[in-house]
């Protein structure tokens, strides 16, 4: 067992060994790492391209990687180390003082090559680095000098303040790092210097090369582009180079000439001279302006002026010569040509017919004159050559000078002067002067043209132009000229300006579109183009323009093209006449003509002698004469003889003395028909108040005349009616008395009394007379429809007698009535009138006799019948057929017969109302009437009236022998004494008390006195002072409800209508039968 | 101090570690900000924050600065989520100011003395040192980042630029160096006992593909912190935020809400 101490020692030895090993290990590891770090730093440094970068990155890396707080690169200056670059790991501030103060001792040490500062040394030296945040006092430091030619730095300074004294250990590595940096800095610097030198050199070389190149280029360019022929020739006379110009003229390619002897290009005749010159050239090295002839490949000869010079090298040895040939061939030729030209000119000068002078401009002396001039001026050549131009020119020198200046100002190369000939005549001449040099003497070569005639022609032309201009300007029509191409106005006259309102300054150079609305301008342009295309005149009868003032004018325009020599339109000339006013007149004339033509009055215009010049449509329509037939005739053609000769005379007197005649003509149409005209005839006078025409305005008044006639007839009928009515009224009073007394007498006569027959006959005659008055009354009154059931056959039977009387004896009058009763709802009186009217017409149609027939029958209308006849309603009808065998009617007449005032009867024989009334009545009865007629075959009317089923009322009552009487008191008012007495007798005989009054007023008075006892008023309606009605009204005002019965000579319904009587009031008609009177009295009293 | 803030709700503080800055959360923030007021800070010396060298970058000082920052923002209670050194800061914060936290989440965190002991040779620390070396050469840098990410296809040039950005300036490099130098594991060793008494809820997320920090750290934390929850994600590297942002968000939100998402 080893001794513990041994063991311990052993362990200690081992531990020591381990420690040493560990230390060695650590050192090795550290070295390995240092190597790695050096590698990294070296790489970083090597990447840097500037010295500053080398120092910055090197110092930073070493500081970071070896944890050295202060690393700097400085330059030593005296006792200071000026910091060039530094890295301080412990602060982020910039150093305030970039210098480290080093004591002299250290500087000495450094100078001796020592560079590691021990801690003590550091402390003793009191090294301190100033920082803002406080001074950095290193515990140890190491200064490593380095030499670099290219930085001012020469020392690295590393300082540490760690407790461990590391720097000795790191010294080796720091040395290496600093070496690396120094070396890199040197490298960079060298490299940079080298680079800079290189660049300089490059730039110099480049410059020189460029200059050389430029010089070379310039020479080459000059040589190549020189228009003269250039050659480079070797000392032994061979061609080295030849330029483009020479090649061109010689016709060789460059390679054909290079290397060839110079003789190749010279013409044989120049060769001896060439040899001669070559010798001279050899001697002097120069040749100047030697004339030679060169020969092209194709044999062309050119004359050249040769100059030559040599190019020598530095040693004065000839390298080559440069020959330059100036081509003077053209010049030579020109000289030759000039000579020839001069000769030609001289010959021309001598022979020409043109007058030519050579003048000395300085003196005006005539230096030479050709034979023509001698002829023209009348002087011999010798004489002329002794004269000056002033001797010929009439103008003074001043005037000539002025003329020359004017010519110059106008850029005119000739002058116009008056020249005087030898015989004294003056001629206007045009002088063309050209400066020429003759034998070195400046002269004026003048050609003189006699323009006297031309001048005159020009003046004439000018006059002509002025003349035309005057016309154009002063014609009253608008005239314009347009350019055929552009249609722009090139000429415009005064009238045109006035018409359009535009001045010519405004118009010229413009076209239609610049002035007129588009549609108008388009139209104009189209017309213009048409004219230019057709190349002929176009007449535009009417076109409208709008003037500047906006007024529309109507123009009649002619446009014509002006063609140039080739027939191409050059201008368009337009001449417009303003026809606006004329158009207006035409328009008004047109209106007037139309008015006249369409006038509803007939218009005739005659000349002063009365020959018809115009008739209007109405005239031809009325008269039947056509326009052609009427014109040229005298209005006498219408004369019918109905107008008196005196009337015509008066007419002529009036109108021929300038008055207006108005009157009526009864004229005859072409077809012989007469017609009435109302005419106004007036004379027409011209400006001199002489009657040139007559105008007649005539109205056809035939219709009016006819209506007037009808009116007259109607009025006449009315008058007759009134007359007949009046007569009938008076007659009735008489008949009433006869009837009354007759009846009284009859009542007082025994039945077997032989006087009774006489009384009865008398009463029957009175009865007939009474019927006659009734018919008269019927004729004279207007009907009021009073329809009631009646048998149509009864009516016909009743009027039959009357009809026969109307028809007359010549006509066979027949009635064929149906067996059954034909009851209709009818107004007896109206139906009577229908039959009467138709009978009247029939009679008129059968002037020489015939058959008149009335037939009745019952007919039934079914739907089919109605649809065929186009009228009525289905059902039963009474048909009355009334026919005659008269002259019949045309269809045209038939169509109008029911119209009022239509008549075919002679004037005064018909009212034209008859059938109209018939038609109206039938319509009132809800029936209808048809007519069938043909000329010569008579006429048939068929009247249909609807049947009814009612019974016909009893119209005829049995006569009562003794009507009822009474005891009441009656006030009787009757103005006719006979009737009053007869009536009182009848009433008193039946028991009544009668008080009488002689008229209406009397009745009122008497009633006032006796009103308590009077039961009935019996008044005649028509009485003097007061009518029965007026008297009744007055009494009724006092005693309402007073009973009344009227007596009237008129029909009761007529009375009722006229006096507006109430329905309950009864009327008894005159002549009245006593029984009827008594019956009505009783009726009224009992009502 | 620079920070990024987004969303509304309970505040969530996201704290990065060394070698990164707030950008590392960019894929997670949108997922959290729907329901939370998310604040991602750049620690002093990192990202866009000041690069001062006159204050301490030790993690307890970082933790203290975070406290000041939170107080100044008047956040009140919040969720602490720390990655790498940020997890260490979370431990210190939880021990010192537990009343301010709803809970603590640590992702691939440092803890105890499992991380470099000698600040002076901080450069020997895995990743830190290598990062620094790498910052001198992009090729190497790329390799380092790539090692720390599980899904290698996510290492794009854009991502590299984000990592590199602070290192492009001398100032940034200096601050990084200073940060590394300030690291002191005593800061965490001091609180070892306190962690065992921690009352707040703790979530530990471990990416099993992290080549720089070993699994032991997370396992020990889980063991020693009562009631803590450990989630291991096999497809997560050291920069697990790049690998599994959705998963992290899902776990974190579940944890915030007291739910336990399926652990994997």
- Give the pLDDT score at B154: 86
Q: For residue A56, which residues of chain B lie inside 8 Å, CB to CB?
A: 170
Q: Which residues contact B241 (CB under 8 A, 6 or more apart)?
A: B24, B25, B27, B28, B83, B107, B248
Q: Residue B96: which pLDDT band, with cuts at 50, 70 and 90?
A: very high
Please tell me which residue of chain A has the smallest CA distance to B123.
A65
Encode pLDDT of A65-80 as tens digits. Answer: 777 888 888 887 777 7
- The count of other CB atoms within 10 Å of the CB of residue A924 is 14
For tokens 């809970």, the residue is B103
**pLDDT of B70 higher than 80:** yes
- Contacts of residue A703, defined as CB under 8 A and 6 or more positions apart, other chains included, come to none
Residue A975 to residue A1002: CA distance in whole angstroms: 10
B45, B49, B177: best to mutate for the A interface, most A CBs within 10 A: B177
Residue A933, phi then psi, degrees to nearest 5: -160, 145
Q: Is B177–A43 a contact, with Cβ atoms under 8 angstroms apart?
A: no
Interface touch B123/A133, C-beta < 8 Å: no
Q: Determine the straight-line distance between the first and last CA of chain A, rounded to whole angstroms.
A: 202
B121 has a pLDDT exceeding 60: no
B245 or A217, higher pLDDT: B245
A93 phi and psi, to 5 degrees?
A: -95, 160
Model pLDDT, residue A1060 = 58
Smallest CA–CA distance, residue A95 to chain B, in Å, is 15
Alpha-carbon gap, residue B233 to B108, rounded angstroms: 10
- Rounded CA-CA distance A789/A226 in Å is 152
**pLDDT score, position A952:** 62
Q: Looking at the predicted structure, is the pLDDT value of residue A307 above 80?
A: yes
Residue B263's pLDDT is: 37
Q: Which helix (H) or strand (E) holds A323?
A: strand A318-327
How many angstroms separate the CA atoms of A95 and B257, rounded?
A: 54
The whole-angstrom separation of Cα A972 and Cα A1045 is: 10
| Cβ count near A869 (within 10 Å) | 13
pLDDT digit string (tens) for B160-186?
A: 888 888 888 888 888 887 887 787 777
Reduced 3-state DSSP string for A531-583: HHHHCCCEEEEEEEEECCCCCEEEEEEEEEEEECCCCCEEEEEEEEEECHHHH
Task: Kindly state the tokens that stand for A698.
Answer: 């005539």
Strands A788-791 and A691-700: unpaired
SS3 state at A824: strand
Q: Please say whether the beta carbons of A148 and A185 come within 8 A.
A: yes
Chain A's closest residue to B131, CA to CA, is: A65
Q: Name which of A326, A325, A322 is nearest A241 in CA terms.
A: A322
Q: Are residues B120 and A60, on separate chains, in Cβ contact within 8 Å?
A: no
Among candidate residues A50, A41, A74, A73, the one with its CA nearest the CA of residue A188: A50
- List CB contacts of A256: < 8 A, sequence separation 6 or more: A297
Q: Which of A43, A44, A92 sits opposite B53 (nearest CB)?
A: A92
What phi-psi label fits residue A84: left (phi over 0), alpha (psi between -120 and 50 degrees) or beta?
A: alpha
Q: Show which of residues 130-159 on chain A sit within 8 Å of chain B, judged by CB atoms.
A: 133
Tokens standing for residue A410 = 């106008």
Mean pLDDT of A999-1009: 89
pLDDT at A1056: 57
Q: CB of B171 within 8 Å of any CB in chain A?
A: yes
Name the nearest CA neighbour of B173 among A523, A88, A990, A984.
A88
> Of A33, A175, A191, A156, which is closest to residue A83 (Cα–Cα)?
A156
Q: What is the residue-wise DSSP string for A226-293?
A: -SSEEEEE-TTSBEEEE-HHHHHHHT--HHHHTTSBGGGGB-GGGHHHHHHHHHHHHHHSEEEEEEEE
With a CB cutoff of 8 Å and minimum separation 6, the contacts of B223 are none
Residue A34 has pLDDT above 80, yes or no: no
Q: What stretch of H or E contains A1046?
A: strand A1043-1048
Q: What is the ipTM of this complex?
A: 0.70
* pLDDT greater than 90 at residue A1037: no
Judge whether A627 is closer than 8 Å to chain B, CB to CB.
no
Arithmetic mean of pLDDT, B88-106 = 93
Residue B260 confidence class, pLDDT cut points 50, 70, 90: very low
More confident call, A241 vs A32: A241
pLDDT in tens, A339-391: 888 888 888 888 888 888 888 877 888 888 888 888 889 998 888 888 888 88
Average pLDDT over residues A142-164: 78
Instruction: With cut-offs at 50, 70 and 90, classify the pLDDT of residue A436.
Output: confident
Query: DSSP letter string over chain B?
Result: --EEEE--SEEEEEE--TT--GGGGTTTHHHHTTTEEEEEEPPTTSTTS---SSS---HHHHHHHHHHHHHHHT--SEEEEEETHHHHHHHHHHHH-GGGEEEEEEES---TTSS-S-GGGGGGSTTHHHHHHHHT-HHHHHHHHHHH-SSGGG--HHHHHHHHGGGGSHHHHHHHHHHHHH--THHHHTTHHHHHT--SEEEEEEETT-SSS-HHHHHHHHHHSTT-EEEEETT--TTHHHH-HHHHHHHHHHHHTT--PPP-
Average pLDDT over residues A570-588: 88
Average pLDDT over residues A168-181: 83
B137–A64 C-beta distance less than 8 A: no
Count CB atoms within 10 A of the CB of residue A1079: 16
Best CA proximity match to B242, nearest among B41, B20, B87, B81: B20
Least confident of A416-430, B61-75, B112-126, B135-149: B112-126
Of A727 and A996, more confident: A996
Report percent pLDDT > 70 for chain B.
87
* A382-385 contact pairs (CB < 8 A, 24+): A384/A357
What is the pLDDT, as a whole number, of residue A158? 86
CB of A777 closer than 8 Å to CB of A725: yes
Mapped to the 3 state alphabet, what secondary structure does A711-762 carry?
A: HHHHHHHHHHHHHHHHHHHHHHHHHHHHHHHHHHHHHCCCCCCCHHHHHHHH
**Nearest partner of A416 among A425, A427, A424, judged by Cα:** A427
Q: Which residues of B41-78 are buried (b: 16+ CB within 10 A; e: fewer)?
A: bbbbbbbebebebeeebbbbbbbbbbbebbeeeebeeb
What is the rounded distance in angstroms from the CA atom of residue A58 to the CA atom of residue A38?
Answer: 10
pLDDT at residue number B140: 64
pLDDT digits (tens, 9 = 90+) for A685-744: 888 888 899 999 988 888 788 777 766 766 665 666 666 667 777 787 888 888 888 888
**What token pair was written down for A194?**
């080298």
Q: Report whether B134 contacts B210 (CB < 8 A).
A: no
Residue A636's beta-bridge partner residues? none
* Predicted pLDDT of residue B207: 92
Q: Name residue A791's beta-bridge partners.
A: A823
Q: Which of B51, B53, B177 sits opposite A64 (nearest CB)?
A: B177
Average pLDDT over residues B72-84: 92
Phi, psi angles (nearest 5°) of residue A726: -60, -45
> What is the Cα–Cα distance from B243 to B209, expressed in whole angstroms?
10
Contacts of A1055 (CB under 8 A, 6+ apart): A1021, A1046, A1048, A1061, A1067
Contacts of A67 in chain B (CB under 8 A): 120, 123, 181
d(CA A160, CA A69): 6
> Given the structure tokens 């070195």, which residue do they identify?
A440
Residue A604 or residue A897, greater confidence: A604
Predicted pLDDT at A531: 87
Q: What's the rounded Cα separation, in Å, for the pair A635 and A652?
A: 13
Q: How far is A111 from chain B (nearest CA, A)?
A: 34
Reply yes or no on whether the pLDDT at B126 is more than 50.
Answer: no
Chain B partners within 8 Å of A60 (Cβ): 170, 173
- Band (pLDDT 50/70/90 cuts) for residue A98 is low
Distance (Å, whole) CA A340 – CA B82: 120
pLDDT for B66: 94
Cβ neighbours of A271 (radius 10 Å)? 13
The answer to whether A267 and A299 are in contact (CB under 8 A) is: no
Minimal CA separation from A144 to chain B, in Å? 24
pLDDT at A870: 53
Is the omega angle on the peptide bond into residue A290 within 30 degrees of 0, that is, cis?
Answer: no
B136–A89 CB contact, under 8 Å: no
pLDDT digits (tens, 9 = 90+) for A764-802: 888 777 766 765 665 554 334 567 888 888 888 877 877
- A785's CB contacts (< 8 A; 6+ apart) are A827, A830, A924
Q: Distance between CA atoms of B127 and A324, rounded to whole angstroms? A: 88
Q: What is the pLDDT of residue A330?
A: 85
Q: How confident is the model at residue B6 (pLDDT cuts 50, 70, 90)?
A: very high
- Predicted confidence at residue A963, as pLDDT, reads 67
Contact predicate B46/B79, CB 8 Å? no
pLDDT bracket for residue A549 (50, 70, 90) = confident
Which range, A793-802, A818-827, A830-839, has the best average confidence (pLDDT)? Answer: A818-827
Q: Is the pLDDT of residue A954 over 50?
A: no
pLDDT higher than 60, residue A868: no
DSSP helix/strand/coil, A318: strand
pLDDT at A905: 63
Residue A405 exposure: Cα atoms within 13 Å on the Cβ side: 6
Count, residues in chain B: 264
Secondary element (H or E) of residue A996: strand A993-997
């Amino acid at each position: 067992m080893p001794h513990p101490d041994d063991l311990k020692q052993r362990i200690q030895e081992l531990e020591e060994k381990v420690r040493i090993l560990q230390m060695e290990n650590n050192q090795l590891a550290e070295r390995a790492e240092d190597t790695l770090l050096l590698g990294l730093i070296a790489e970083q440094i090597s990447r840097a391209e500037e010295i500053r970068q080398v120092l910055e990155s090197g110092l930073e890396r070493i500081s970071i990687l070896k944890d050295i707080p202060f690393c700097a690169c400085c330059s030593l200056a005296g006792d200071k180390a000026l910091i060039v670059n530094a890295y301080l790991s412990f602060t982020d501030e910039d150093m305030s003082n970039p210098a480290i103060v080093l004591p002299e001792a250290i500087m000495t040490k450094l100078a001796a090559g020592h560079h590691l500062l021990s801690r003590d040394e550091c402390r003793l030296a009191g090294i301190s680095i100033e920082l803002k945040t406080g001074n950095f006092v290193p515990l140890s430091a190491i200064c490593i000098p380095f030499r670099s030619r290219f930085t001012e730095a020469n020392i690295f300074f590393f300082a540490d303040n760690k407790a461990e004294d590391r720097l000795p250990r790191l010294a080796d590595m720091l040395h290496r790092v600093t070496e690396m940096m120094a070396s890199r800095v040197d490298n960079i610097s060298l490299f940079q210097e080298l680079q800079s030198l290189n660049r300089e050199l490059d730039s110099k070389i480049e410059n020189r090369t460029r200059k050389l190149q430029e010089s070379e280029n310039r020479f080459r360019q000059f040589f190549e582009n020189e228009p003269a022929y250039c050659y480079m020739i070797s000392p032994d006379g061979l061609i080295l180079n030849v330029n483009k110009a020479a090649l061109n003229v010689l016709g060789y390619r460059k390679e054909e000439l290079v290397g060839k002897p110079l003789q190749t290009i010279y013409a044989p005749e120049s060769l001896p001279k060439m040899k001669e010159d070559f010798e001279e050239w050899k001697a002097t090295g120069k040749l100047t302006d030697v004339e030679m002839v060169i020969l092209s490949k194709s044999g062309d000869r050119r004359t050249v002026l040769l100059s030559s010079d040599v190019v020598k090298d530095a040693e004065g040895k000839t390298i080559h010569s440069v020959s330059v040939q100036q081509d003077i061939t053209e010049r030579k030729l020109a000289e030759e040509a000039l000579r020839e030209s001069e000769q030609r000119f001289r010959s021309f000068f001598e022979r020409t017919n043109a007058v030519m002078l050579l003048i000395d401009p300085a003196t005006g002396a005539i230096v030479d004159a050709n034979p023509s001039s001698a002829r023209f001026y009348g002087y011999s050549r010798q004489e002329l050559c002794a004269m000056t131009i002033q001797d010929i020119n009439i103008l003074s020198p001043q005037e000539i000078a002025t003329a020359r200046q004017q010519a110059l100002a106008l850029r005119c190369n000739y002058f116009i002067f008056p020249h005087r000939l030898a015989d004294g005549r003056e001629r206007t001449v045009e002088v063309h002067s050209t400066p020429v040099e003759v034998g070195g003497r400046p002269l004026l070569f003048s050609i003189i043209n006699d323009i006297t005639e031309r001048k005159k022609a020009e003046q004439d032309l000018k006059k002509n132009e002025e003349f035309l201009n005057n016309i154009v300007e002063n014609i009253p029509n608008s005239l314009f000229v347009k350019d055929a191409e552009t249609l722009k106005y090139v000429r415009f006259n005064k009238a045109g300006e006035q018409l359009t309102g535009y001045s010519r300054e405004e118009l010229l150079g413009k076209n239609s579109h610049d002035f007129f609305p588009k549609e108008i301008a388009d139209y104009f342009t189209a017309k213009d183009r048409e004219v230019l295309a057709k190349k002929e005149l176009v007449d535009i009868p009417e076109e409208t323009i709008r003037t500047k003032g906006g007024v529309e004018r109507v123009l009649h325009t002619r446009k014509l093209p002006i063609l140039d020599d080739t027939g191409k339109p050059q201008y368009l000339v337009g001449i417009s006449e303003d026809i606006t006013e004329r158009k207006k007149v035409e328009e008004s004339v047109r209106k007037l003509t139309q008015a006249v033509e369409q006038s509803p009055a007939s218009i005739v215009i005659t000349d002063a002698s009365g020959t018809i010049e115009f008739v209007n449509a109405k005239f031809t329509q009325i008269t039947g004469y056509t326009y052609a037939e009427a014109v040229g005739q005298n209005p006498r053609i219408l004369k019918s003889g109905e107008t008196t000769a005196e009337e015509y005379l008066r007419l002529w007197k009036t109108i021929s003395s300038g008055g207006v005649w108005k009157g009526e003509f009864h004229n005859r149409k072409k077809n012989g028909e007469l017609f009435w005209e109302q005419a106004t005839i007036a004379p027409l006078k011209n400006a001199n108040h002489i009657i040139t025409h007559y105008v007649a305005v005539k109205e056809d008044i035939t219709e009016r005349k006819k209506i007037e006639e009808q009116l007259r007839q109607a009025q006449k009928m009315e008058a007759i009616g009134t007359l007949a009515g009046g007569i009938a009224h008076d007659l009735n009073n008489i008949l009433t008395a006869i009837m009354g007394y007759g009846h009284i007498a009859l009542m007082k006569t025994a039945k077997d009394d032989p006087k009774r027959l006489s009384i009865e006959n008398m009463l029957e005659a009175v009865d007939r007379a009474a019927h006659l008055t009734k018919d008269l009354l019927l004729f004279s009154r207007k009907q009021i429809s009073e329809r009631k059931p009646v048998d149509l056959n009864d009516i016909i039977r009743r009027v039959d007698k009357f009809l026969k009387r109307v028809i007359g004896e010549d006509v066979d009058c027949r009635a064929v009535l149906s067996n059954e009763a034909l009851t209709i709802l009818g107004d007896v009186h109206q139906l009577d009138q229908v039959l009467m009217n138709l009978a009247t017409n029939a009679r008129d149609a059968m002037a020489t006799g015939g058959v008149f027939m009335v037939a009745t029958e019952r007919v039934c209308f079914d739907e089919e019948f109605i649809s065929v006849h186009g009228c009525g309603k289905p059902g039963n009808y009474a048909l009355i057929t009334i026919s005659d065998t008269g002259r019949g009617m045309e269809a045209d007449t038939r169509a109008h017969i029911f119209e009022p005032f239509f008549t075919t009867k002679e004037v005064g024989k018909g009212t034209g109302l008859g059938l109209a009334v018939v038609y109206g009545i039938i319509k009132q009865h809800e029936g209808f009437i048809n007519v069938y007629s043909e000329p010569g075959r008579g006429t048939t009317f068929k009247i249909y009236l609807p049947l009814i089923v009612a019974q016909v009322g009893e119209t005829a009552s049995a006569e009562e022998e003794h009507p009822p009487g009474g005891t009441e008191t009656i006030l009787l008012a009757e103005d006719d004494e006979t009737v009053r007495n007869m009536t009182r007798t009848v009433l008193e005989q039946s028991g009544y008390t009668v008080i009488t009054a002689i008229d209406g007023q009397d009745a009122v008075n008497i009633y006032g006195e006796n009103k308590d006892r009077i039961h009935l008023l019996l008044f005649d309606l028509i009485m003097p002072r007061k009518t029965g009605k007026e008297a009744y009204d007055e009494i009724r005002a006092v005693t309402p409800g007073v009973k009344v019965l009227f007596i009237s000579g008129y029909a009761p319904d007529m009375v009722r209508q006229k006096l507006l009587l109430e329905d309950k009031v009864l009327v008894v008609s005159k002549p009245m039968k006593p029984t009827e009177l008594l019956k009505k009295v009783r009726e009224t009293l009992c009502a | 101090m620079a920070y990024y803030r987004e969303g509304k709700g309970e505040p969530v503080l996201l704290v990065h570690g060394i070698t990164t800055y707030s950008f590392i959360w960019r894929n997670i923030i949108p997922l959290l900000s729907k329901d939370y007021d998310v604040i991602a800070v750049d620690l002093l010396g990192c990202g866009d924050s000041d690069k001062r060298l006159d204050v301490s970058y030790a993690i307890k000082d970082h933790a203290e600065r975070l406290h000041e920052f939170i107080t100044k923002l008047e956040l009140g209670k919040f969720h602490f989520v720390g990655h790498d050194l940020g997890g260490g800061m979370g431990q210190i914060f939880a021990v010192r100011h537990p009343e301010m936290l709803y809970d603590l989440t640590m992702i691939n965190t440092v803890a105890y003395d499992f991380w470099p002991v000698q600040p002076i040779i901080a450069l020997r620390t895995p990743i830190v040192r290598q990062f620094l070396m790498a910052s001198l050469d992009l090729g190497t840098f790329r390799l380092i980042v790539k090692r720390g990410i599980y899904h290698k296809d996510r290492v794009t040039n854009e991502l590299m630029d984000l990592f590199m950005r602070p290192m492009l300036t001398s100032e940034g490099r200096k601050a990084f160096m200073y940060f590394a130098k300030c690291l002191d594991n005593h800061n965490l060793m001091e609180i070892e006992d306190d962690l065992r008494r921690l009352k707040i809820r703790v979530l530990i997320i471990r990416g099993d593909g992290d080549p720089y920090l070993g699994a032991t750290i997370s396992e020990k934390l889980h063991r020693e912190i009562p009631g803590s929850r450990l989630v291991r994600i096999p497809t997560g590297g050291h920069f697990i935020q790049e690998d599994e942002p959705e998963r992290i968000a899902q776990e974190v939100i579940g944890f915030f809400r007291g739910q336990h998402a399926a652990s994997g």
